[in-house]
Each structure stands twice: as C-alpha cells, then as structure tokens.
Amino acid sequence: MNKDKDMSNQILMKGNEALAEAAIIAGCRFYFGYPITPQNEVPAYMARRMPEVGGTFLQAESELAAINMVYGAAAAGARVMTSSSSPGISLKQEGISYIAGAELPCVVVNIMRGGPGLGNIAGSQGDYFQSTRGGGNGDYRTIVLTPATVQEMADLAVLAFDLADKYRITVLILGDGFLGQMSEALTLPKPSGNTFEKPWALTGAKGRKPNKVASLRLIPEAALEELNLVLEEKYQKIKKNECLSESYKTEDAEYLLVAYGTSSRICKQAVNELRKEGIKAGLFRLITAWPFPAEALQEASAKAKKILTVEMSLGQMIEDVKLSVKNPERVDFYGRSGGMLPETDEIKRRIKAYGN
C-alpha cells in the first residue's frame, strides 16, 4: 500500500507494535485485552503508550469481558480496539455478534495461531472461515483486512478505524503469528484526518431523546428481519466500495497464485523466481478477505491456465476463489497447516508440473 520509497522516516518495529502505534495514530484511545500468544506485544505496547496519550488501557478478566468493554466504549462513541489470537477470538465472537446487531464501530485484531483448540503458538491462517463468514451467531459480516507486511499492519490499522466509523461495523485485522512477531522497517502512517459524527452514541439524554443501543428486536414480528435487511444493504455497499487487492505480474500470467498475508510473501518470492526461469507466473493477493475482491480476481485470472491457491490452512479461502473465477476447474490448492509454512520450492515444483 505504501509506495513511498523515502527511507528517511523509516524505523524498525515488530508487526504487533507497529499495529498498536498506528491505532494510536488513528485516534484509538481505548484498548481492552487479555493476554494470549502470539499477540502479547499489542497489550504490552498499549499499556505503556495509552497513558502517554491520555488514553485507557485495561487488562480484562477474559476475552469475553474485553470484547464487551469494547462494546460499551464503542456505544459511548469512542474509537476502541481489542486484540487477541485464534482461541481468544473464538471467545470474542459472542460480543462481535452483538456489536453487529447494535451497529457499533470497533477494531478487532486477530494474530492467528495454529488450531483447532489450543493448537500451538505458531502463525496460521486457519481462521479464514470464522473471519469471513461472521463467526458469531446470526446474519452478519465483518470487514476483514489482511496485512502482509509490518508496513501494512500499520497502514491497515489506520484504515480500519475509518471503515469501522464509516459503516458502524467491526473491522477485523487478520494477521498471523509470523507477521505479528517479525520486525521490518516501516514508515509510520499519518492520521487520515477523517471525522465521523456519532449522534447515536450513549452520552446522556441532554437536550435530545434517549438513545438506545441494542440488538434485540422482538416486536413487531418482522422487526428483526427489518434490521437484517438494513445490515444487508450496508454489506452490499461495502462489497461495492471497499474491495482491496494487489495484482502482481498478473497481466500476462499463465499461472496465477492466490494468497494473502504471510503466505502471499512466500508466493511473491516464488513468482519472482519462476519469472527468472521464463515462466509466466503472477500473484493475486487479497487485502480485504471480506469483502472478497472477486472482480479484480476475475481480471487477474483471465489468462491463467491454472490458479494455485496457497494457504496456511488445509483449504478455506479456496472456496471464495472457486466462487469468484470463471472456469473454477482451473483452481488447485497447496497448503500447510498447524503452524507450518508453505515452501517456495514446492510452489515452484507444482507450477512447473502444470506445464508438463
């Protein structure tokens, strides 16, 4: 995203810390979280930085409590964030569903680790389904941003707060343990400068009618469907306006790799090496996993004989890829799971095998 090659403002930061600092740059002044590896740098950073900027850091008694503190702070009109990793995000789904129903804006960070269950603490992409299909109960969506670099961890954090306020929605930043833990040079982003009125916030009914923040819709009979249709209209607007992706050497690509986050970095390396050998490979990288950038993928895959979906899971995003491209029989899959990484050589071997 950041095409600025000026090195003078560059600093070295861990992904998790870059994200936390960018949240503060974006105006986030409330953070509620609960420790879990591999995202612990986020709460530690916030614990130190929030008091310096007049903000509030609070270590909650659980992920359930943390997300409900987020719900309360968002209802009060604040820019607010929580972060966790896969098992903790499962616990937060209850609150995320209520936040969807009550149409509150917030940012939730998932630095994914291996699962199911306690799994392990290495980076993984096993939560794609949970992230893009809602995760909690009911008819709802969250915007899902998938950074691939430390720079993007920061840039997308700034974007996340604007999108959250613009649409009164949860924006999920979906990173993984490798991305959270790695250090890279970055230029810290600037605040967007956008401001959003929040006349619905709970601030006390002084000089106005009481505001109510709730997802319950009992009466009349069709009241809940009405709410769901309002949400659906919002989701369609987001699908139309907010898809983000990167197409890398796709114009003439006969072999297209599709990936996001850490696995897309490995894919980019494979594309560069294949190109050196004269093989027309390209990479389509998601930046939003929901909304899924289907049109851009159709364009990028127009000339592809084969489409190889590469994930740090046993195949989740591939379903969206197949739903999006023409002639989905072209779509193949390579993935590693449980905290293991896809290998450049294996990607190259598979692409070359398609040519034979």
Interacting residues with other proteins (CB under 8 A): 30, 32, 56, 58, 60-62, 64-66, 68-78, 80, 94-95, 98, 102, 202-207, 210-216, 218
Output 75 or 89, the one with its CB closest to other proteins.
75
**Cα–Cα dist 177/316, whole Å:** 18
As given in the structure block, the two tokens for residue 278 are 């004269």
Output 58 or 224, the one with its CB closest to other proteins.
58
CA atoms 173, 179, 180, 183: torsion sign: negative
We find the least distance from the C-beta atom of residue 292 to other proteins, in angstroms, to be 29
Per DSSP, 223 falls in state H
**Cα–Cα dist 285/326, whole Å:** 18
We find the least distance from the C-beta atom of residue 173 to other proteins, in angstroms, to be 20
We find the least distance from the C-beta atom of residue 102 to other proteins, in angstroms, to be 7
Output 6 or 221, the one with its CB closest to other proteins.
221
Q: Taking the CA of residue 256 as centre, how many other CA atoms within 13 Å lie in the half-sphere pointing to its CB?
A: 27
**Cα–Cα dist 275/248, whole Å:** 12
The closest of 125, 316, 324, 153 to 239, measured between CA atoms, is 324
Output 193 or 210, the one with its CB closest to other proteins.
210
H/E stretch holding 269 reads: helix 261-276
Output 63 or 242, the one with its CB closest to other proteins.
63
Output 58 or 341, the one with its CB closest to other proteins.
58
Which residue type, as a one-letter code, is found at position 265?
A: R
Other beta carbons within 10 Å of 264: 25
We find the least distance from the C-beta atom of residue 274 to other proteins, in angstroms, to be 50
We find the least distance from the C-beta atom of residue 78 to other proteins, in angstroms, to be 4
We find the least distance from the C-beta atom of residue 74 to other proteins, in angstroms, to be 7
